[in-house]
Structure 1
Amino acid sequence: MKTNTIQKLEDFAGTILIPVFETYAKSLVPIEFHGVSVHSKVFYGKKDTHYLFEKYDSTHIFIGLGKDPDYKSLKTIFRRISSNNKELFNTNVALVIPENYTNEQFEASLSGLVLGTYDFGHFKSEKQQHPFLDSNFELQLFSKKNHDKTIAKALKIVNAQLEILRLVDFPPNIVTPKYLANWASESGKKYGFSVEVLGHQASEKAGLNSFLAVGKGSQNEPQFVIMNYIPEGSNDKTKHVGLVGKGITFDTGGLNIKTAAMVQMKCDMAGGAAVFGAMQLIADLKLPIKVSAIVPCAENSVDAKSFLPSDVIQSYSGHSIEIIDTDAEGRLVLADGLSYLIKNFNPEYIIDIATLTGSCVGTFGYECAGLFTNNNELSKQIQESGDAVGERLWQLPLWDCYKQDIESDIADVKNYSGKPVAGAISAAKFLEFFTENHKAWAHIDIAGVAFGDGEFAKSKYATAYGVHLLTKFIENL
């Protein structure tokens, strides 16, 4: 989307989007707006309301923001306006930027407008392009201030999120491990980070046996994707962050086959997708932080070669793992991802992100992600970053009393407690076992927030949760 800033609206012909805070609504709407006499109806600007009227050759859409909208609310409000009013958006559209808008509020609003162009009908034979995507379209921004930096940043954020929406929403016969590896390689070339991909043979040689066990039943070769972003001018004092994302492109549950909701398991790579999107955005924003990231990509399928419940497998760390449940596969690929990251890159901070447990959904529903860390300062930093961009988290304990849930009689550790309680915590304890007691590690369980129901589609769809959160955390460092 191209933008242009204007300072007069009197002669503007087209659609004018006018955000209205509830506090100021009464004084704005009934009288006059920037020299344009408007309808006498009082519009109160309450959240999730809008008022539309046409006058001469212009259409005014007053958009209610409520009294104190947060980032997520603003993004949703403007996505709704953009998505539901395509017929009103011709080549002439202007967005009024309120004088009391913060940069973050404008960023969220512009992001929402662009997100509204997202079309879920990827494979429909007939598609209607959103007017904002026309190559000749230019959004006019009415403001007395210069917002060029905020505009550039907002567009980079939303472009990364749109990429990840597509990755997660695409079907699993398209988004295979190889597809994700190729996507990462192309993104690295475009935005400026290096990518190395270990296929089956290279992964076997490296000793990534826990990762490889998960993909044994699939015809699609697993791909262990390693990415590195090194900013210009970096040195030994440059901070270094490590990211690991679960890249299970489809999860049948393996031989412990899922009995419900398998149709949604194309989203099981949403954690890996969040890391891919964050790498694109971090490099696009040219943040001055080193980032090493790993996304182990595999498909957990059913075949004569599939790994078995009660198998004992080896891991990259050298520790043995007893397989209790083949549907607890995400933690197996993350274990090798974490071990590989620590041994080969040793970053100061480590965050892994995954659609890991239904238990987390049982705890939080679809409102926030689960956060696990023994570093209180890191927890605070991540939560504050999430709050700032509307991607909330809440911390759960990692007390040693939960360690017994992953203790095995036959191996160093087992991959599933077998208990109907504390599933998200025992999964996090399993991952902690492979962190070598790293002092600044955090695990984020996004099972309830990465893919779900909403107003923009009839079925469940991707949210791109994590792309902005991870980037914001790194930006704040």
Structure 2
Amino acid sequence: MQQIWPKAISADFSGKEGQSVLYYSSNDFDEDSKEPTTPQRILWMGLGKEAKLSLNSFRTAIPKVVDKVQELKQKEIVISLDAQQFSTLNSSLSAETLLQTMANTFIQSNYQFNKHLTKEDSKKPSIEELRFTLKQTSGPLDLQKINEAVQVATTFGEATNLARNLANERGDVCNPKWMEEKAKELVSNHRDKLQMQVIDSNQMNLLGMNLFYSVGKASTTPPRLVLLKYMGDPQNPTSEVALVGKGITFDTGGLNLKSTGFIEDMYLDMSGSAAVLATMATLPKLNLKMNVVGALCMAENAIGSNALLPNSILKSYKGLTVEIGNTDAEGRLVLADGLSYVQKHYSPKYVIDIATLTGACCVALGEYASGLFTNDQGLEKKLMEAADSTFERTWPLPLFPEYSAELKGQHSDLKSIGKGRYGGACTAAAFLKEFIEEGVKWAHLDIAGPAMTSEKRGHIPRGGTGYGVQLLLSFLQSLQEPSQQPKT
């Protein structure tokens, strides 16, 4: 490094976090043709003070590198680093962890949703290759372990980008039928490990899934429950985990219509189902030895002569009656029947639902973290650890008895919303809790903030972010014995 570090750059570059300097090396000559070769571009990127060096330093740096390389219209990045030097500064920064984090961040930073751009010059050039060169200063590096870690990190990043593509498709294209077809397409690539079943609107009526059906009944595309089963342990008849995703492909608010300024990005209200579908599509690549059910609760909350009426009283699939307080609180209705169905038919040990459920959670946590509600401390610990390891942050919120008390109905078993504007994320979670059976370890992730962001932040794009995919995959990995950890 000292041999290529020009003195002029040394005077200008302090290594401050985010600071960068681009240097063009002098021309070399091709030995055969004796013609000058293209000068090599060398980009130095500051990581900040040594004492504060962490994985987040690299998560911050990689998107800036990608932006610069795209600006230069280059197709390849070679990252050179002395991993052992970093591990000396911070023991958590092993070569395996560093490359895993950088590869994953690169995949996410390189993402673009540009399928509807017709002019090539409107698209940012996509970087086609990332390579690492490691300086070995002392002791051998376990290259096999490093390669496996990078492979898993790449798989996780690609899964996130799949969820982003699903979520960012607009509501005129992405409706419940479109999501069903996408699920079929993904299942067809892994028929040995994935099975699929669809509960259509007619079957919903017959089964008594009235909460779910009522949300989507005014749409020209009927609602449906898309069920995916990953069979990593085919000898086991039960499913250890059920993942349930809210899939409102466009949320008008129903007859309690959303106003201008609040309705435009409601095509992203199916981000929970996008996260579940991307997770299920990725499990065969990780080869986890467990059975997992994924439920996509797909509906369009449209308006029309057949739309759900406020104050209607409906009987849920579980048998509880619910008075509809506001038709814009529709996500909890499709989730309630979806949760009841998977518990009855698959008897999972763990149930996790993931949903862009409430604006109240955005008020509480902003766009930086999801709200985590659960009835089990052990499950909370595992999900928090998975969130920390993937930088898909979440934060525990309470389920006090008072929130459940607000939902007690006068003319029905339950009301769908609480008494007022306060604690809306908590009363929504308390409503879902009413549909969880005794003994089931359950968690609700309210992802309304981090799943649909208002601006680009580093490796996280504006719009659909794919939040939750890596958290769920990491959680599922944590349920495996060490000897069963995936190798891809």
* TM-score bracket for this pair, using the shorter chain length: 0.7 to 0.9
Shift of 1:89: 5.2
In structure 2, relative to structure 1, the CA distance for the partners of 1:235 and 1:247 (3 Å cut) is same
The aligned runs of 1:46-445 (5 Å cut-off) are: 46-56=16-26, 57-66=39-48, 67=50, 68=52, 71=55, 74-88=58-72, 90=74, 92-100=76-84, 101-102=93-94, 103-128=96-121, 131-132=125-126, 137-143=128-134, 145=141, 146=143, 147-191=146-190, 192-232=193-233, 234-235=235-236, 240-259=240-259, 260-445=261-446
**Secondary structure, in 3 states, of the residue corresponding to 1:41?**
helix
Q: Which runs of 5+ in 1 are unaligned?
A: 1-27
Q: 1:46 to 1:234 in 2, by over 3 A?
A: farther
Aligned amino acid, residue 80 of structure 2: V
Counterpart position of 1:11: none
SS of the equivalent of 2:97 reads: helix
Alpha-carbon distance between aligned partners in 2 of 1:142 and 1:385, rounded to the nearest angstrom: 29
Please give the TM-score of this superposition, normalised by the length of structure 2: 0.85
Return closer, same or farther for 1:200/1:148 CA change in 2, 3 Å cut-off. same
Q: 1:317·1:339 contact (CA, 8 Å) conserved in 2?
A: yes
- Aligned 8 A contact 2:217 2:307 in 1: yes
Judge conservation of contact 1:324–1:418 (CA < 8 Å) in 2: no
The 10-residue stretch of structure 1 (413-422 or 336-345) with the greater mean CA deviation from structure 2:
413-422
Task: Name the CA shift for 1:116/1:396 in 2 (closer, same or farther; >3 Å).
Answer: closer
* Bigger mean CA deviation after superposition, 100-109 or 446-455: 100-109
Compare 109-118 and 87-96 and name the one that shifted more: 87-96
Q: CA deviation at 1:360?
A: 0.7
Once the 2 structures are TM-superposed, how far is the Cα of residue 226 of structure 1 from its aligned partner? 0.4
May I ask how many residue pairs the two structures share in their alignment?
441
State the alpha-carbon separation in 2 of the partners of residues 172 and 117 from structure 1.
25
CA apart distance, 1:433: 0.2
> Aligned partners of 1:230, 1:311: CA distance in 2, in Å?
40
Deviation at 1:39, TM superposition (A): 4.5
Q: Cα 1:130–1:289, aligned 2, differ >3 Å: closer, same or farther?
A: farther
Distance in 1 (CA, whole Å) between partners of 2:17 and 2:46 is: 5
Which residue matches 1:9? Answer: none
Instruction: Give, in angstroms, the shift of residue 77 of structure 1.
Output: 3.0
Tell me, in whole angstroms, the C-alpha distance in 2 between the residues paired with 1:70 and 1:463: 23
TM superposition shift of 1:401? 2.0
Which residue pairs with 1:25 in the alignment? none
Runs (5+) with no aligned partner, structure 2: 27-38, 85-92, 480-488
Q: Distance in 2 between matches of 1:37 and 1:105?
A: 23
Q: Which moved more, 1:306-315 or 1:451-460?
A: 451-460
CA distance in 2, matches of 1:438, 1:451: 33
Root-mean-square deviation (Å): 2.3
Inter-CA distance 49–453: structure 2 relative to 1 (3 Å threshold): farther
Aligned amino acid, residue 252 of structure 1: T
Rate the CA distance shift 1:132–1:122 in 2: closer, same or farther, 3 A.
closer
Kept in 2: contact 1:81–1:116 (CA 8 A):
no
Question: 2:35 maps to which residue?
Answer: none
CA distance in 1, matches of 2:126, 2:349: 42
Using the TM superposition, name which of 206-215 and 98-107 deviates more.
98-107
